[in-house]
Structure 1
C-alpha cells in the first residue's frame, strides 16, 4: 500500500486528521481538503514530519467546483488518486417540530449532498484509472433510529443507502466502496453542531466524553477496511449489538427497548 494516494474531505481536524496521519505513517501521499485553512496548514506540517508527501487544498463540499478543482489538481500533480474519503460532516439535534427547515437544508447539503458530490466528481477519475476506492463516513445514526436526531439520522441513513447502491453500480469498473458507521467517539463534531435546546448539547457532550473509542481507533478500522476492501465497518462493539437487535427482533420489541434506553434525551 506504500506510495498510494488518498484524498480526505474534512481532513483538518477530528477523524479526518486522524485518518491523514494513519495513512501518512503507512507511506501514503495524503491530500486533505477543508474550509479551515490554518488547521489545514498545521496538519500538512504534521504529515510532512512523518515523511509523507502532503497537500492541503481549500474545499467546501457544498461546492462541486471545489471538488472538481481537487480532482484536477491530483490528476495533474499525482497522476490520480487511489482512495477518496468523504468524511466532512455536521450534526443537528432536536425534536421534529422544533428543528427549522433551514437546519434540515444545511445538514442535507453537507452530510448527504457533500458525499454525493464527492462520489460524482471522482467516479470519472476512478473509471479512467480502472480502479479506486470510496470511503463514505456515515454513522450508527444511519442504522439506528435514536429520537431527537431525525435530520442527522436521515442524512446518515441516506449515505448508507448511497454506498450500498454505488457498491453494486461501480463494481464492474474496479471501484470499491466502504461505508463507516461509528457511534459516539471523541471528535470535534460538537463544534459545529446545531441544537434546539441547551440540554441536548450537555447530554451529547457527556456521551462524546465518555466514549472509550477515539478518532485514532476509528481511523485504524478504516485503514484496515481499505486494505481488505471491506464494505460495512462498525467500530463500536456495543452499537453492533444494538444494530443486530434491530435487524433480528420484531419492531414491536426493538422500538420500546430503544425508547427506554434514550429516554433521557427527551
Structure 2
C-alpha cells in the first residue's frame, strides 16, 4: 500500500498493555502508527515512536508538529494512556483523586486541545478515547475510577456533537477487566481493594489483543460507544434492563469489601 493511502494513527500509552495491542492491531491493518509513551522502553522496534507525557502541554505541541510535518496531518487519535485507581471513600486519600483525574482526564483534555484544531482544519478525523466499563457501571470501592471514566464517556459524547460539523467523529471504548499490566501502576491507601482488582485482571478470560481487535471492529462499524467484551456487555444490559437486579449484584459485591 502506498504511504499516502495508509491511515495515520497516533496511540498514547503504547509502550505496553492495551496501547501496544492497539498499535499492533492498526499496523496489521496497514496503518502508519505513531506509538507514544511516557516510558520509551516499550517502544523499541516501532516504525514510528516518540516519548509523550500526556500531562505536558509542550509534549503535545511537539507531537502535533511532528505529525503535521512528517505525515501532513492525522486520521486517528487514540487517547489510551492512563492509570488505575480506586478505593473506598473513607480510605482513599483526596490526593489520589487528584492524581487519577490529572492523568486520566486532564491529560486527555490537554492532548485534545492541541489536536482538535488540526482535525478541524482537515475537516476530518477520528478520536478514540479509552474509558472503561467503570464509566457505565459503578461498583463499590471504585469511586475515583468510576468518576473519571464516566467523565471520559461524557467528554467523548460531547466531542461527537461538537465536532460533527467538521467531519470529525468520536468514539469511547468501555471494556471490562482484561489481562494487562495496568495494575503495575496501581497505588493508593486502599491496598485491600487493589488486591481484589489485581485478581480480577489476572483471572480475566480475555487479553489486550482480544480487546484491541474488538475495538477496531467496532470502529469499522461506526460505533460511538464500543463495549468490546461479553462481560462488559452483560453488565451494561443488566443495568439497563433490570435495575433492581443490578443494584442487588452491586450491593452484594459492596458487602464483601467490609472484610478487607
TM-score by length of 2: 0.93
CA contact (8 A) 1:177 1:229 kept: no
Q: Equivalent residue for 1:102?
A: 95
Determine the C-alpha separation between the residues in 1 that align with 2:160 and 2:221: 15
Determine the C-alpha separation between the residues in 2 that align with 1:26 and 1:263: 45
Determine the C-alpha separation between the residues in 2 that align with 1:126 and 1:137: 19
My pick for the range that moved more, 234-243 or 166-175, is 234-243
Determine the C-alpha separation between the residues in 2 that align with 1:161 and 1:36: 29
Q: Equivalent residue for 2:6?
A: 3
Look up the SS of the partner of 2:138 in the other structure: coil
Determine the C-alpha separation between the residues in 2 that align with 1:17 and 1:106: 23
Equivalent in 247, 251, 258 of residue 255 of structure 1 = 247
Q: Deviations over 1:161-192 (max 9, x none)?
A: 00111111111110011100001101111011
Deviation of the 1:262 alpha carbon: 4.6
Deviation of the 1:200 alpha carbon: 2.0
Question: How many matched pairs?
Answer: 255
Structure 1 gap segments, 5+ residues each: 48-53
Give the aligned CA root-mean-square deviation in angstroms: 1.6
Equivalent in 193, 203, 209 of residue 216 of structure 1 = 209
Determine the C-alpha separation between the residues in 1 that align with 2:86 and 2:169: 32
Look up the SS of the partner of 1:22 in the other structure: helix
Q: Equivalent residue for 2:225?
A: 232
Q: How does 1:167-182 map to 2 (within 5 A)?
A: 167-182=160-175
Q: How does 1:88-127 map to 2 (within 5 A)?
A: 88-127=81-120
Determine the C-alpha separation between the residues in 2 that align with 1:201 and 1:220: 28
Determine the C-alpha separation between the residues in 2 that align with 1:95 and 1:185: 22
Q: How does 1:180-191 map to 2 (within 5 A)?
A: 180-191=173-184
Q: Equivalent residue for 1:39?
A: 42
The 4+ residue runs of structure 1 with deviation greater than 3 A are none
Determine the C-alpha separation between the residues in 2 that align with 1:131 and 1:15: 25
Structure 2 gap segments, 5+ residues each: none
Deviation of the 1:118 alpha carbon: 2.1
Structure 1 residue 63 corresponds to structure 2 residue 66 = no
Deviation of the 1:225 alpha carbon: 2.6
Deviation of the 1:38 alpha carbon: 1.8
Determine the C-alpha separation between the residues in 2 that align with 1:79 and 1:265: 52
Q: Equivalent residue for 1:20?
A: 23
CA contact (8 A) 1:178 1:225 kept: no
Deviation of the 1:264 alpha carbon: 2.8
Deviation of the 1:74 alpha carbon: 0.4
Q: Deviations over 1:137-159 (max 9, x none)?
A: 00000111111110011000000
Look up the SS of the partner of 2:170 in the other structure: strand
